[in-house]
Amino acid sequence: MKTDSISHLKEQSRGALEGRWGESVAYPAVLIALHMIAAAVLAAVMKSAGVAEVISGAGIAFIMQVLISLFIWGADFHFLQILRGEETSFSSLLAVFRMQPDRFVLFGIIRGVVQILPIVPLLIALGQIRRHPMTAVILAVTGAACLVAALIFLLTYAMAGFVLLDLSGEIPLHEAMRMSRLMMRGRKGKLFFICASFIGWILLAVITLGLGLLWIIPYVLTTLCSFYESIKKGPDLSR
């Protein structure tokens, strides 16, 4: 078996989690709780469908998603420690706040904007589909193209968060993004397929009313950590 194959990365993550599932399920529980709180706040703000409520709701959702991403990176740090066989504690969830959090906040904002941009033309297209069908088609195609571009961007810089966690306060965000871009050369497709390989597990979690996410999220995050570990020494990062 190739040491960098998807099956090997998954096997490596399962091995690292063996005997440590008990401490690991607490992290997805917190992340799920944070998302539920965010959803409740958003529902309260958008009780009426006025333009002001929609705009304010979108702004609140964006801010809360950026904040939640800080805790997700904290979970990444925990599972990176587990993969390396290091001692961990629940305080790992707050690791980002001890590592110049402004860099993570900025990166979260950048990722959030990239994720939202493709949705805008698609939403406008839905509103124009009856009155101006040709305009709606053009907007839909534009949105689809933006969606592909956003996916490529997110895959290209997917390792920047891991680099920031690994090197703590040693490098600025732009340098972490440069290193991620170099690491992901020729590997974006592999990362995409790694993520896609968990679709079946996520569907299984839906069947269990979300309970399965307590075990699936650690499995996914540890596998992504394993992927990072397998490529971080690959490219020449000095260029």
Q: What confidence tens digit (pLDDT) does each residue in 124-141 have?
A: 666 667 777 787 787 778
Find the helix or strand (DSSP H, E) in which 109 lies: helix 101-116
- Nearest residue to 58 via CA among 3, 112, 137: 112
Q: Give the SS3 label for residue 201.
A: helix
Q: What is the pLDDT of residue 239?
A: 42
Mention every residue, 6+ apart, whose C-beta is less than 8 A from residue 158.
180, 184, 191
Rounded distance between C-alpha atoms, residue 163 and residue 99, angstroms? 12
Q: Please answer whether residues 69 and 54 qualify as being in contact, where contact means their C-beta atoms are separated by less than 8 angstroms.
A: no
- Nearest residue to 141 via CA among 121, 126, 123, 116: 121
Could you read off the pLDDT of 74-127 as tens digits, one per residue?
999 999 999 998 888 888 888 899 888 999 999 999 998 898 888 777 666 666
Task: Inform me whether the pLDDT recorded for 46 exceeds 70.
Answer: no
Q: What is the pLDDT of residue 38?
A: 79
Could you read off the pLDDT of 153-179 as tens digits, one per residue?
999 999 999 999 998 767 899 999 999
If 0-12 CB within 10 Å is exposed, 13-18 middle and 19+ buried, where does residue 34 land? middle
Confidence at 49, pLDDT banded by 50, 70, 90: low
Task: Inform me whether the pLDDT recorded for 206 exceeds 80.
Answer: yes
Q: Please answer whether residues 222 and 82 qualify as being in contact, where contact means their C-beta atoms are separated by less than 8 angstroms.
A: yes
Structure tokens at 173: 């965000």
Q: Give the SS3 label for residue 47.
A: coil
Look up the pTM and report it. Answer: 0.86
Rounded distance between C-alpha atoms, residue 176 and residue 236, angstroms? 14
Q: What is the pLDDT of residue 73?
A: 93
Mean pLDDT, to the nearest integer, of 205-228? 92
Q: Please answer whether residues 146 and 118 qualify as being in contact, where contact means their C-beta atoms are separated by less than 8 angstroms.
A: yes
Q: What is the pLDDT of residue 51?
A: 55
